[in-house]
Amino acid sequence: MNYTEPNYISELVEKHEATIRAEWIENLQSSLIRNDTSLQEQLKRHCTQFLSLLAQATKGNSNDIESAKWDEVRHLLAEISVSRAKQGSTPTETATFVFSLKEVLFKLIRTELAGNGEALASVTLSISQFLDNLGLYTVEVFQKSRDQIIARQQQELLELSTPVVKLWQNVLALPLIGTLDSARTQVVMENLLQKIVETGAAIAIIDITGVPTVDTLVAQHLMKTIAAARLMGADCIISGIRPQIAQTIVHLGVNLEDVVTKATLADAFMVALTRMGASITFAKHD
C-alpha cells in the first residue's frame, strides 16, 4: 500500500477493519459506566457502522467533514450523540467514541510506516484533522440535544408545579409554590385559562402561600393572570396574603382594591361558596 495514494486511509481501514474494530471496542468498553449487554451490543453496532462509513468518506483523502462525502458519517454521529444525551452520558464520554479511535489508528500506522518519518507525520496529521473535527461535531450535537432535553424537562416541571384543582362546582384553585417569573406566569395563565374553558368555572382562587416574596414584578404577573381569567368570565380571589406580603404590596403601591384577598385558602374558599350560593354546616355531636 502506497501512503502517497489519495485513498491510503480508506484502504488502511478496509484492510485492517477487524483488528481496528476489536481493539477500539475493547478500549471503549473499558470506559463504559454502565456495562450492560444492551449497551455493549449498541457500541459494537455503532463501531462497525462508523468504520464502514469512514472508509467510504476518506476515499480521495478528503478531510473536510462538512462536504457531502461525510454526510452519512455526520448523520451516524448525530444519532449517537442524541442517544448518549438521552442516556445521561457526559460530553467527554460522548466525544471519547471518536477520539479513542486515534490511539488504535496511530498504533497501526506506526507499525506500517516504521522507518518512514515523513509518511508517518503526513498520515498522522490527516487522521488527527478529521477525527478532531468529528469529535468536536459530536460534542456540539450532544450539547444541543442535552439543552433541548433540559428545556423540555423545565417546561414539564413548570406545568407540574402549577396544578389547577377543582374545589367545587364552578370553583377552581391554583396553588403557587416558588418564584413567579415571566416564563412561569405564562404557564400559569395557560393552565388556568384552559381549566376555566374545560369546567366553565366562575371563580378561581390563586393561592400564594408558597410564594416566598412578592415584588413589583410578581404583583404584575398576578394582575395579568387575574385580568386574563376575567376575560374568560371567571373572577379571582387571592389567598395566602401574609402580614409581610400585605406590607410589601402596600409599600409597592400595587392596586388590589378590586380583587378580593384572604389570609388563607380556607377563607377564600368560604367566600367562593357564598358567591355560589352554597354554604358549609357543621353537624353537632352529642
The CATH number that applies at residue 51 is 1.10.490
DSSP state of 206: E
Is residue 121 located within the same domain as residue 214?
Answer: no
pLDDT of residue 2: 54
Do residues 208 and 214 touch, judged by C-beta distance below 8 A? Answer: yes
Q: How far apart are CA 192 and CA 203, in angstroms?
A: 11
Domain termination site, one of 133, 157, 181: 157
Domain termination site, one of 134, 157, 180: 157
Domain housing 136: 8-157
Is residue 32 located within the same domain as residue 91?
Answer: yes
CA dihedral 73, 77, 79, 81 (to 10 degrees): -170
| Residue range 127-183, pLDDT digits in tens | 999 999 999 999 999 999 988 888 877 665 665 566 888 888 899 998 888 777 777
Which pTM was predicted? 0.58
Is residue 55 located within the same domain as residue 75?
Answer: yes
Is residue 146 located within the same domain as residue 193?
Answer: no
Domain termination site, one of 107, 126, 157: 157
Q: How far apart are CA 267 and CA 128, in angstroms?
A: 71
Is residue 129 located within the same domain as residue 19?
Answer: yes
Return the top range by mean pLDDT from 64-78, 155-169, 215-229, 251-265.
64-78
Is residue 45 located within the same domain as residue 107?
Answer: yes
Total domain count for the chain?
2
246 pLDDT exceeds 70? Answer: yes
Is residue 73 located within the same domain as residue 50?
Answer: yes
What would the grid cell of residue 140 be? 456540539
- Ranking 4-13, 27-36, 55-64 by mean pLDDT, the lowest is 27-36
Is residue 151 located within the same domain as residue 18?
Answer: yes
Residue 183 resides in a domain:
yes
Residue 12 resides in a domain:
yes
Residue 2 resides in a domain:
no
Is residue 22 located within the same domain as residue 153?
Answer: yes
Q: How far apart are CA 92 and CA 96, in angstroms?
A: 6
Rounded percentage of the chain residues whose pLDDT exceeds 90: 35
Residue 3 resides in a domain:
no
Measured between alpha carbons, how far is residue 190 from residues 155, 158, 234, 238 in Å? 13, 11, 14, 18
284 pLDDT exceeds 70? Answer: no
Planar angle of CA 227, 229, 234, nearest 5 degrees: 120
pLDDT (mean) for 193-220: 87
Is residue 120 located within the same domain as residue 218?
Answer: no
Is residue 40 located within the same domain as residue 118?
Answer: yes
Q: How far apart are CA 143 and CA 252, in angstroms?
A: 42
